[in-house]
Amino acid sequence: SGSTGMDVATATTVTLTDPTVHKIPLNAQGPLGHGLSALLLGRSSATLRGVFVLPGVIGADCTGPVHAVVWTPAPPVLIPVNSRIAQLILFVGQAYNADQVKRWSGSFGSTGLPAVLWVQAIQSHYPMLTCHLNNSEGKPHSIKLQGMIDTGADVTVIS
């Protein structure tokens, strides 16, 4: 019994002076040990104070200090040192050879090389895309999608 998460606190005092996203150092260090990974989630008490911690994953291969990505809709907000703004929910990850993948210190990295899978030129009018999806093993074998591209998104997912 007990709490599901392990609270983590800020390592420094931070003032959020604008509504953009900020990276804040926490009093946690990777690797977490025993091959464990963790979900980093905001505490409800921080949310009630107007500090929103964006969810993140701390991989078993993470080395160095752990940071939280936070934002506030109503700046300025002062977050004193040792404020418990987030929690780690530990889990055993199913990563491929995590011990053999070289990561850099400080988190916010990904394994493997960066990849651009598709690029669309943005025009002065609504950016439209026609996409043909083929599935040789399913029915229908092919579908055609047409829609406006969200130019504010980093990734588009079709499911």
* Other beta carbons less than 10 A from residue 87's beta carbon: 20
State how beta strands 84-92 and 128-134 pair.
Answer: unpaired
97: left (phi over 0), alpha (psi -120 to 50) or beta: left
Burial of 11 (0-12, 13-18, 19+ CB in 10 A): middle
Is 150 part of the annotated catalytic residue set? yes
Are 41 and 5 a contacting pair, CB within 8 Å? yes
Q: Which of 18, 99, 150, 154 is catalytic?
A: 150
Q: Which residues are marked as active site?
A: 150
